[in-house]
Each structure stands twice: as C-alpha cells, then as structure tokens.
A and B are shown apart, each in its own frame.
Chain A
Amino acid sequence: TAGITQAPTSQILAAGRSMTLRCTQDMRHNAMYWYRQDLGLGLRLIHYSNTAGTTGKGEVPDGYSVSRANTDDFPLTLASAVPSQTSVYFCASSTGTAGEAFFGQGTRLTVV
C-alpha cells in the first residue's frame, strides 16, 4: 500500500515563482493536512481539509493556498515564493475522527 505520495521530493525555486506541491493518498481518508517543519519549531499546520470540497486555514496559512477537488488529492500552491518559505513540507491524512495521522515522505523546498 502506497499510503501518501508527495511530489517532488525536493525542489529549488527562485523567489517570486509559483509552485504546486502534490499530495495523493490511497486510503480514502476524509481529512488531509499540510504541515511545514522547521528546525526548532516542530510541525506547524498550514491548511487542512475535512472532506472533499472543503478547506480550512491552519496556524501559518499566509502565502499558501489549497484545493480539495476529490478525496485523494490535496495540492498545496505557493503563488509567489519567498525565502521564508524554505522548509520541509509534509502532507498527512486521517479518518477525520480521533485516529492517527499518516504522513508522506515530505518535500524539501528551498527558495532562493
């Protein structure tokens, strides 16, 4: 079982450019999440989705947008990248109740 697949694995992006980080799950989970991981700050929630067609803002949503057109896919878009968005991005999913979250392998993004 693949679980959660993120792409690309890593990327170097010029400041001001746009980029979409892809996330696909095959577990039919209702809830999906995007976190960024920065040294000393742990994982901070960017955006989430409880079910297809709905999204919500997390702790650090500025500069990011998401969509949830179907159950399986939850792409994260940076409209105009800035160096402070250099981070490791993790996509996760859960059943949407009190169960555990399942994580992808992450996307390492460097904005220069």
Chain B
Amino acid sequence: AQSVTQLDSQVPVFEEAPVELRCNYSSSVSVYLFWYVQYPNQGLQLLLKYLSGSTLVKGINGFEAEFNKSQTSFHLRKPSVHISDTAEYFCAVTAWAGGSYIPTFGRGTSLIVHP
C-alpha cells in the first residue's frame, strides 16, 4: 500500500515571497504523483502531475514540483505567491494495487498568504 505525508499542516507566507510545500510518499511499486488545490467550499482541482519523464513538472498558476525518487519526495514550489494562492493543497499518489489504481491523499497543507 502507498502512503503520503505532507510535512506541514499550515504554511504562512507574505505576498510575493517564495514558498515550498513538502510532500513525501512511500510505496513498494512505481507511483504517479499529483498536487491538487482546493479553494474554500469547492472540490479539488489538479495543479500538476508527474507520470514519467522529466522530474521537474510545471503546472497552472506558476507552480512547479520536482520528483526525487531517492528521497521519495515531490515538493511543490512557487517563486512568488499571490493572495489568491491562499487555499488548501493536497499531495496525492496513485499506484497499482490489488487490481486497481487508487489515488491516496495526504492530509493537506493550508497555504495562507498575507499582504
């Protein structure tokens, strides 16, 4: 079975500062990695994904993430955040297990951008 650990439950940051949201995973098989964003009272929407190829992936709204297989990490970064980036961010892994691809989510990181 796979699992996901998001190391920070809350990350406060000032507007225009850089931010990194940390994610580590564990799995006995190859995984596919995702970051989702959830704005208040909404469902989750995809920010970016790593399926294969280049370990640096770029997503929407200026976010990027780097897959590090040796450290089993998939940290999310943005060089300059905006107030509108305030939201809940979820790291997820999908792996083949028991005949199914099941997305497993971390507990989420609340990004709070202050003016």
Report which A residues bind B (CB closer than 8 A). Answer: 4, 31, 33, 35, 40-45, 48, 50, 56, 58, 90, 92, 94, 96-98, 100-101, 103-106
Give chain B residues whose Cβ lies under 8 Å from the Cβ of A40. Answer: 9, 107
Q: How many positions in chain B have a CB within 8 Å of any CB in the partner chain?
A: 27
Stretch at the interface among B66-74, B79-87, B95-103: B95-103
Are the CB atoms of B90 and A31 closer together than 8 Å? no
Is B43 an interface residue when CB atoms closer than 8 A count as contact? yes
Shortest distance from the beta carbon of B72 to any chain A beta carbon, whole Å: 17
Shortest distance from the beta carbon of A50 to any chain B beta carbon, whole Å: 5
Give chain B residues whose Cβ lies under 8 Å from the Cβ of A43. Answer: 44, 90, 105
Is B34 an interface residue when CB atoms closer than 8 A count as contact? yes
Of residues 45 through 88 on chain B, the ones whose CB sits less than 8 Å from some CB of chain A are 45-46, 49, 51
Are the CB atoms of B43 and A106 closer together than 8 Å? yes
Q: Which of A58, A94, A103 meets B43, CB within 8 Å?
A: A103
Q: Which of A4, A31, A58 meets B101, CB within 8 Å?
A: A31
